Each structure stands twice: as structure tokens, then as C-alpha cells.
A and B are shown apart, each in its own frame.
Chain A
Amino acid sequence: MKRIKSITVLQHFLLIMMSIIAIFPLYWMIISSFKNESEIFTSSFIPQAPTWQNYLYAFAEMPIIQMLFNSFVVATLMTILQLATSLLAGYALVRWNFKGKLLIFTLLSLTWLIPFQAVMIPNYVLINQIGLNENPLGIVLPFAASTFAILSIYQSFKSFPTALIDAARLDGESDLGILFRIILPNIRSTVVSLGIILFINAWNEYLWPMLVTKEMENAPIQIGLKSFVNSDVNMWGSLMAATTISCIPILLIYLFLQKHIVDSFVRFGIK
């Protein structure tokens, strides 16, 4: 009995240590953003005189609202397109047997192996040629189809009972109807979780947006942050304020849909 208890204490100790390591940087970011100019360079763990000054400065320094808006547009558009392309592709892969299915499936899966850095130069050239630089569409388009999304959707479609699809066909439902009125309502939570992962990934993306947009007005928030980090001004309080702002949407989503998100990461793996 005693032995079991001591194991549990050890377990909790380990887990609490891990948790602190995991969230401490986040905590430090938030409290730093509220410290005033004199306090920012001390190691106090709670701001003695909390101030909004850093936030005001951050807003003055960068078009934060505009950039948040850009991020929102880009992430939403990317999520919708990735979901749409993967739903259609996933449906085709489970619904029909057709010539070249294996080849197509293999080609889709193999894109996992292509690192973005191996295709960024030709893509950069192409985006500039078609004049989509400085444009949210230019950021979104190369990522409009995601192998990760396609394979995840395919996985969950595969476990969907085919008899239901047959029943709907006998009822005279069209293929799009089957997809959206029969399959989707039944795997809604899976698709929502996947959508959240895709949104978070899109929101956090920065290399490609950085190549496509040069003007702050057109760039997502990550690009603004990055140039702030690299600008070498010693304004750590307001940098942490800007960073905090950039995290808020993600943290809010996480707060409300935490279980969903963790479950789906476990199910789908990482991108």
C-alpha cells in the first residue's frame, strides 16, 4: 500500500516538473509583457506595477491589427481550401475503384518526403511571375492542398460504413450529397479537429509568407514578430506584448477545444 503511494507521488512530481517546463516560457512571456521599463530587466516572477505601456508601444510600432487580420484571412482560407481538397480527394479514394488509384495514392503520399525548402525557389519565382506576391492568395495557394490533411481524411473515411453510402445511393443522393449530407455529419468532430490543427499550422507558418510579402501591411503577424525580434531594439517588454497578442487566437482556441486538439494530434500525428 505504502509502496503504491510513493510511486504515485513520484509520478506526480515528474509530471508537475514536465508541466512547469512546458508552460514556464509562456508564463514568462505574459508577465514580461506587463512589466514596466525598470522592472523588465529584473527576475521578478510577478509584475510589481503592471502596465499596458508595452502593448501601446507594440501597437504603435507595427500595424498589429492589420497583420492579425492578414493572418486570420490567410489561415482561414488555407484551412478551408485544405479541408475542401482533402474531403474531395478522400471521398474519391474510398468511394471508387479506378485505374491508377494506387499510383495516385502513392504520389499523394510521397509529397511527405519533399521538404518545403526543396521547392521554395521555383515556387517563389512562379508566385512572382503570376503577380501574387504581396497577396494573401500567394501565401495560400501553394498550401491549398495538404497531404497531411488528405491522408488524415482518408483514414477517417475508411472507417466509415460503406453500407451507409450504398443506402444513400439507393435513396438517389448525389456524390456531393453523400459527402456533405451523409458522411460529414457523422464524422463532424474529426473534421473539426483536423480543421483546428490546420488552422493552427497555418497561423504559425512563417517561412513562405516571409518570402511572399515584403510590406508589413500585407504580411501575417508572424512576419511582423520576426522582424521585431531581429530588429535589435531593446524593447523586450513590447516584443513580449506583441508575441502575447499573436498567441491569443491560438490560446483561445486551445482553451476551449483543448481535448479535441490533443486527441486529434494523437490521432493524426504531426504535420
Chain B
Amino acid sequence: MSEVKRIIVSEQEKKVTEQKSRRAARSLIKWKPYLFLLPAILLLGVWMYKPLLSTFVLAFQKWSMVPGTEPITVGLDNFIRLFQTKDFIHSIENTIFYTIGILPFSIIIPMLLAVATNGLNGRVKNVYRAMFFIPMILAPVTVGAIWRWLFHPANGLVNLTLQKLGITDGNISFFTDPVYAKWLILFMTGWGLIGFSTIIFSAALTNINRDYFEAAALDGATKWKQLLTITIPLLSPTILFMLTMSILFSSQFTFAYIDILTAGGPFGSSTNIYYEMYKYGFNNLNAGLSSAAATLFFIVFAIIAIGLNLLTKKFAFYDN
């Protein structure tokens, strides 16, 4: 009798342990998602998040990046120095200048162009698209080199043409002139973006239901009124997307041209904040100052980005 009982009990135990071991095998599978994500997480951790933290720490230190030397903690010195540096103040002004200045090229003109050319037929449209796109795929160095040559003070096409047309009579050194330099950099960046943005807006426009416009036309709305009351509200997700892109990347785009064409000059008149970070770090070998600028900017930047994100969510309902 007790023998039988024991067998039953041990059978039950066996069943339980079996199920346990199955569960254990199953929990191994639970690791799979992390395994698949590991390369990405590891790489982004090592090359993005960890260095970002190091930058925050370096912002309170003084270090010239000489191997074998150690950073010295200096408190808020770097931040104080930053605001005493004229170029840094310039760079903030210019960053704002570039960020706002880029908007006509990334939003206003492209949107008008897209509206004006809406409804063009397929193949022709593709040819234009193909050409609009070229500035987007060229390397910044390439673009920099070409524009430098076009605007060469003595023999560039622009100077030659201006003189031929009798508009100017002497050579203009565009990239060493404090006024021209930063406008030129803005135009170059705008030139790179305008075609791309037009394509984005065109694509968004073709997705808008034609019925809206027909209904509005029946209501007797003028073209201008249609633009204000229908097109722009319906395009608002795209507008916000391009706004976010412009703000996030305009400094990135201008960086390359500043570096290649003016090195921030003359007298810091064309520099932007990214270029200052680069200059402090790799020209002046002042890692602390560069990191302080990075830290400051990162915070401002994050606040703007979060704000834009909230705005995008708010307008998302226009998106179908």
C-alpha cells in the first residue's frame, strides 16, 4: 500500500521537475531578444552614452589630451571662461542665425515650390526629382571645394561674372569677408537642402486627398485661401518634421562648410557652436572647454527637441 503511494508521489515529482526543466529551457529563450539587441546596445553604449557621460565630467576638468597626463578638476572654470570668450558668443549668435536662416530653404521655399508644381505627371516629375536630389548625395568636402572655386576671390566664376556684368569692379574675397562669409555658408547649406525638402513636401502633398481641394474650390475658396486653410494645416506634420530636422541638423550641415571654407573666420564671424567645440578640442587642445560647450549645448538642444516632439504629437492627428 505505502509502496504504491510512493510510486504515485514520485511520479508526480517527476512531472513537476520535468515541467520545471521545460520552464528553465524556456527562460533561456527569454534571453534571445537581449542577445539580438546586444550588438546595437553595446556599440551605442560604448560610442555614444559612455562618451557623453565622459564629456559631462570633462566639462568640469582641465585637460590637454596629452597621453600620460590626467585631467584636473577645476569646477565651473570652463563655463566661466566660455562666456568670456568672444568667439563662443559669436558662435551662439551664428548658430541661431543659421538655424533660423535655414528655414526658408528647408520649409518655406520648398513648400511653395511643391504647391506650385503639384499635379505634374509621373515621368517628368522623376527627372526633376533626380536632379533636385544631387546636392543631397554630394560629400560636404566636394561641395565645399566646388563653392570655394566658384567664389574664388581672383578667378572664380562668380567674381568674373559680376565684373563682366559691371556690377562690381574689384574682386570680392567672399570667404574672408565677415559679412559675406556667413551668408555664403547659409546659402550653401540651403542649396543642399532645398531640393530634398521640395521632394518631401511634394510626396506629402500627393498623399493629401484631392477631395479637400475640390470641396474648397466648390466653396469658392481662392488659391491663396486654400493654401492657408487646407494645404498648410494638412502639411503640418511634414512641416514639423522638417522643422525638427532643420533644428537638429543645421549646425551639423554648416559645420562642414565652416571647417572647409572659413575655419570659422574671419574673426569668428562665421563659426557655429559645433565648430567651436571642435576648435577648442583639436586646435587649442582644451578638452575641458570643448566639453563645457558640448554640455551646455546638449541641454539646450534636448529641451528644444523634447518641445518639438510634444508639438509633433499634438499635430499628429492631421496625419492620416
Contact = CB atoms under 8 A, between A and B. Distances in A.
Direct contact of A and B (CB under 8 A): yes
Interface of A: 10-11, 14-15, 18-19, 21-23, 25-26, 28-29, 32, 40-43, 84-86, 88-89, 91-93, 95-96, 98, 101, 104, 107-108, 111-126, 128, 141-145, 147, 150, 175, 200, 203-204, 206-207, 211, 222, 225-226, 228-230, 236, 239-240, 243, 246-247, 250, 254, 258-259, 261-262, 265-266, 269-270
B48 A21 contact: no
Contact of B135 (A22, A88, A123, A141): A22
B67 interface: yes
B195 A222 contact: no
Given A10-B116, A175-B36, A26 B141 contact: no
Contacts of B145: 29, 225, 228-229, 239-240, 243
B134 A88 contact: no
Contacts of A91: 36
A123 B277 contact: no
A254 B148 contact: no
B225 interface: no
B113 A270 contact: no
B33 A25 contact: no
Contacts of B141: 204, 206, 222, 225-226, 229, 243, 246
A229 B282 contact: no
B149 interface: yes
B164 interface: yes
Nearest to A119: B51
- Sorted nearest first, the 10 A-B pairs with minimum C-beta distance are A122-B51, A145-B43, A204-B139, A92-B36, A119-B51, A122-B54, A41-B155, A89-B40, A118-B294, A142-B47
A14 B116 contact: yes
Contact of B255 (A117, A118, A247): A117
Given A43-B160, A204-B137, A226-B144, 11 more contacts: A89-B40, A114-B52, A115-B294, A120-B277, A121-B281, A206-B256, A207-B278, A247-B142, A265-B133, A265-B136, A269-B200
B281 A18 contact: no
B180 interface: no
B191 A28 contact: no
B260 A28 contact: no
A266 B146 contact: no
Contact of B249 (A225, A229, A270): A270
Contact of B199 (A225, A246, A266): A266
B187 to A, nearest CB: 10
Interface stretch (B4-12, B73-81, B122-130, B213-221): B122-130
B166 interface: no
A25 B140 contact: no
B139 A85 contact: no
Contact of B130 (A115, A121, A258): A258
Contact of A246 (B43, B142, B252): B142
A207 B255 contact: yes
B130 A98 contact: no
B44 A145 contact: yes
Nearest to B291: A121
B274 interface: yes
Interface stretch (B16-24, B96-104, B297-305): B297-305
A104 B52 contact: no
Contacts of B108: none
Contacts of B40: 85-86, 88-89, 108, 145, 150
25 contacts: A25-B143, A28-B157, A29-B145, A29-B149, A85-B43, A98-B34, A107-B49, A108-B40, A114-B52, A115-B251, A119-B51, A119-B55, A121-B281, A126-B51, A147-B44, A175-B36, A204-B139, A207-B256, A211-B282, A230-B260, A240-B149, A250-B137, A254-B133, A254-B137, A262-B130
A198 B245 CA distance: 18
